[in-house]
Structure 1
Amino acid sequence: MVSIRSVHGSARLLLDVTRGVTRITEQTHRTIVREVNPLNRLRDIVGVTPEEPQGPQGHTYRVIQSTLSLLQKGVDMSFDTVAVEDTRSPAPQNMNVAAALNGVCGDHLEASNNPLAINMHFRNSRGEIVQSDSEHIRARLPGASSRLVVLVHGLCLSHDYWKGHNEGNLGTELERAHGITPLYLTYNTGKHISINGRELSQQLQNMIEAWPVDVEELILVGHSMGGLVIRSACWYASEPELSWIDHLKKAVYLGSPHHGAALAKASHLLTSTMKKFRYARPFALGQHTSAGIKDLRHGNLLDEDWEGINPDDFSPDARKPVPLPAGTRHFFIAAAVGNKTTDFTSAIIGDLLVRLDSAKGHHRDELKRLSIRPQDCRVFENLNHLDLLDNKVVHDQVLEWLA
């Protein structure tokens, strides 16, 4: 069953998309009108900004936008009267759709108070929400141990993706093999990585303080963007001096784009190129993607990496170097779709989304390079980016490292 909140959020998002398409159509229409006006061409030659075209088309677009705004107000008023009656949890398939939408436009969903926006929270292996309250933890996690692992998913995914195609998952395997209690983080992947990192840092602190037994060891496992959120959280733990970082003994990164994702770089290049041409500029849809996706171009971890910078303009990698936190052992896993990781194709393509050098933390700049021991890094052949979530050889390696 689809929840009322999902229907409400979907209706609002559909109206937002319609408004966006209307704006693109209007921009294209205005460009064409300016081009066919010989006076505007003359102004271009002498360096004078062309006047905005006036006429019935401008009035028509204003009427459309006003109508859509009225429709949204009506939708909000209608659903507000019944939303309090809807207490059902979303079905897994609905949760996964919401997670994908949050990855693409999650920052917009949050800014517009859309019910589809995901709030950061933890879940247990049964998919139940676990609040940072001692009694609630005991009820949701009976027999919680002193060893805790938190699994952090990647862009457009949710906690449900750790299960993969098998009955078990990495979290339950760690619990069976080593007695480590698993928690699964769910969060809005469309928000800036630094914002999610800061929030995760505080939520880890709250969870450690509420844990029913003394925590001897905290382990963090991040897939793709999840690994960057983990590194950001570790950095922000030092600002207010949160004590959870003292419990962090090991961290595992599965295909994390420490120095950017190839697909995000290609999307940015296409967007910046299209913006240089008048007729193509309105259709440069990459400029409308989420802040989280844009952070993946270089692998931004901190607020300083994106504040005051137009992410759609061509700009060099000006990230502040973020070293791996001392006192924690860090493990890296990368994948290549080819038969040999030494092949040129495998090195360039990597796991289809993340190149090998980025997943292993390599960088030409020594300040940005992540220093790890060779035995703490593994590269697997014939695996793609999502295979890292649910693959026996990957799980076996993580189980060995965390034994």
Structure 2
Amino acid sequence: MVSVKSLHGSAQLLLDVAGGVTRIAERTHRTIVREINPLNRLRDIAGVPSKEREGQTYRFIQSTMSSLQQGLHRSLDGFSADDEPTHSVHSEKVAAALNGVCGDHLEASNNPLAITMHFRNSQGAKLRPDSSSMGATFPNAGPRIVVLVHGLCLSHEYWKGHNEADLGIELQRAHGFTPLYLNYNTGRHISSNGRELSEQLQILVDTWPVNVEELLLIGHSMGGLVIRSACWYGSEPKLPWTQLVKKALYLGSPHHGAALAKAGHLLTFVMHKFRYASPFALAQHTSAGIKDLRYGNLLDDDWEGIDQDEFHLDIRKPVPLLAGTRHYFLAATIGDHPTDFSSTLVGDLLVRLDSAKGHHSDALKKLRIRPEDCRVFEKLNHLALLDNKVVHDQIVEWLV
């Protein structure tokens, strides 16, 4: 059964895509016309507003799209979100992927498909940030909490993995942690999610049924960067929750950027230099979260006032690991050994080893941890870190 919320959001996104395709066609058409007729280039130089030169056909199409969107909102906004049926695992995964690719647009356009940050329990139920619901949801709540934060285009469902090996449940059985799974819009800026996670962790601690003694944070891929961002924004005002984080683990996190994001940016930059290719540089339309992965931006200062589609050097502000916390890095490589050419070049297919291990040529950006707190797993890809038994055994051992 398709929910009204999903129908509304999908239709709105489809209209947005149609509008975007129309703009690409218009830019291409205008470029061709300008090249064929020299008078059009003279009008560009003269500064004639583009709206005055815009074709009536394109104006009509965009006006139609706008009218359809307004009608869509009026016809479906009256339905209550409380009446929505429970979404299937498949639909939640599709929504998570969409949020990763264009989540910032979904949020800015008030699309119902935009995911709002929230916690889930081990049964998949959403948690409300008030003490009464917490007590009812966790009647046997303990003083130790583990929060698992997924990566780009993923959701809480991916912690179960293909083998149904749930890391949160394993830690509950082995060490008594109560597992909570964060769901969030991975298309937003990492710093925006980090700041919000810091606020939600404080609410979580304040409303937990018993006094919290320890808060364990585990992040996969982008999730590790969101954790580091949250720790930064939580430590600046010295929020109490930061004092409870004794250990934090990062699974394949691109601390200094992801190779795929760098390659996508380079392709976009090159295409922008060619007049006919520029409208088709689709990477410029990807989410802010994906663009943050180019270097591993953690703070608002890393992207504010910067055109992230243009070429620029790594100007990130160095963000040290949270003081007083022991940090563990887990990395993967598809090669047979970390020193293999394939391992060095592509790492786990998405994140290179030096980035996952926090290495950097700039001493201020290098993340320093004990050698025994970093492990590289051979013959594993990026997603396999989520549900691999050997990886889970290492985490359980570290937390003794």
Which TM-score band (shorter chain)?
Answer: over 0.9
In the alignment, is the contact (CA less than 8 A) between 2:33 and 2:40 conserved in 1?
A: no
Amino acid paired to 1:377: C
Contact conserved, 1:219 with 1:250, CA < 8 A, in 2? yes
What is the CA–CA distance in structure 1 between the aligned matches of 2:147 and 2:58, rounded to whole Å?
49
**Who is 1:32 aligned against?**
32
Give CA-to-partner distance per residue, 1:109-128, whole Å, 9 cap, x none. 00000000000000001100
The 5 Å alignment of 1:2-401 reads 2-40=2-40, 43=42, 48=45, 58-83=55-80, 86-401=83-398
Q: Deviations over 1:154-201 (max 9, x none)?
A: 000000000012234000000011111100000000000000000000
Q: Is the 8 A contact 1:4 1:86 kept in 2?
A: no
SS state at 1:130 partner = coil
Shift of 1:215: 1.1
Deviates more, 1:94-103 or 1:129-138: 129-138
Q: Is the 8 A contact 2:189 2:292 kept in 1?
A: yes
- CA gap 1:53/1:371 in 2 versus in 1, 3 angstroms: closer
Q: Greater shift after overlay, 114-123 or 52-61?
A: 52-61
Cα separation, 2, equivalents of 1:220 and 1:85 = 31
Find the aligned partners of 2:369 and 2:82 in 1 and give their Cα distance: 52
Q: Is the 8 Å Cα contact of residues 333 and 343 (structure 2) preserved in structure 1?
A: yes
Contact 2:268 2:309 in 1 (8 A): yes
Quickly say closer, same or farther: Cα 1:84–1:345, change in 2 above 3 A.
closer
- 1:54, 1:264 → 2: CA distance? 34
1:146 deviates by: 0.8
- Matched to 2:32, the amino acid is I
Q: 1:300 to 1:53 in 2, by over 3 A?
A: closer
Residue identity matched to 2:136: A
Q: How many residues align?
A: 400
Tell which deviates more after alignment, 163-172 or 149-158: 163-172
Report if the CA contact (8 A) 1:2-1:91 is conserved. no
For the 8 Å contact 1:30–1:52, the answer to whether it is kept is no
- Measured in 2, the distance between the counterparts of 1:23 and 1:187 equals 30
Inter-CA distance 124–40: structure 2 relative to 1 (3 Å threshold): same
Letter in 1 for 2:382: H
Distance change in 2, residues 1:150/1:65 (3 Å): same
The letter of the residue matching 2:65 is L
Task: Report the CA distance between 1:84 and its aligned residue.
Answer: 5.0
**What is the distance in 2 between the residues matched to 1:337 and 1:84?**
44
The separation in 1 between residues aligned to 2:4 and 2:266, in whole angstroms, is: 39
Question: 1:66 and 1:372, CA in 2 relative to 1: closer, same or farther beyond 3 A?
Answer: same
1:344 CA drift (Å): 1.8
How far residue 50 of structure 1 moved from its aligned partner, in angstroms, is 7.7
Contact persistence 1:193–1:229 (CA under 8 A): yes
| Secondary structure, aligned partner of 2:70 | helix
1:123 and 1:186 in contact (8 A); partners too: yes
1:48: Cα distance to partner?
3.7
Gap runs ≥5 in structure 1: none
Listed one character per residue, the Cα deviations across residues 214-273 of structure 1 (whole Å, up to 9, x for unaligned) are 111110000000000000000000233210000000000000000000000000000010
Post-superposition CA distance 1:375-394 (Å, at most 9, x none): 00000011000000010010
Give, as a single letter, the amino acid of the residue that structure 2 aligns with 1:23: R
Counterpart of 2:312 in structure 1: which amino acid?
Answer: S
The whole-number CA distance in structure 1 between the counterparts of 2:82 and 2:317 is 47
> Any idea what the Cα deviations from partners look like across 1:64-122, whole Å, max 9, x if unmatched?
00001101111111112334573323221111111000000000000000000000000
Asked if structure 2 preserves the Cα contact closer than 8 Å seen for 1:128 and 1:140, the reply is: no
CA RMSD of aligned residues (A): 1.7
Dislocated runs of 4+, deviation >4 Å: 49-57
SS in 2 for 1:148: strand
CA-CA distance at 1:139 after TM superposition: 1.9
Q: Secondary structure at the match of 1:380?
A: strand
Native 8 Å contact 1:330 1:376 kept in 2: yes
Query: What letter corresponds to residue 372 of structure 1 in structure 2?
Result: I
**Which of 307-316 and 333-342 deviates more?**
333-342
Kept in 2: contact 1:151–1:220 (CA 8 A): yes
What is the CA distance between 1:3 and its match in structure 2? 1.3
Identical counterparts, % of pairs: 69
The separation in 2 between residues aligned to 1:268 and 1:281, in whole angstroms, is 13
Distance 1:19 1:211 in 2: 46
CA–CA separation in structure 1 for the residues paired with 2:159 and 2:76: 33
Q: Which ranges of structure 2 fall in alignment gaps of 5 or more residues?
A: none
Is the contact made by 1:121 and 1:185 (CA closer than 8 Å) also made in structure 2?
yes
Change (3 A) 1:70 1:48: closer
Letter in 2 for 1:231: R
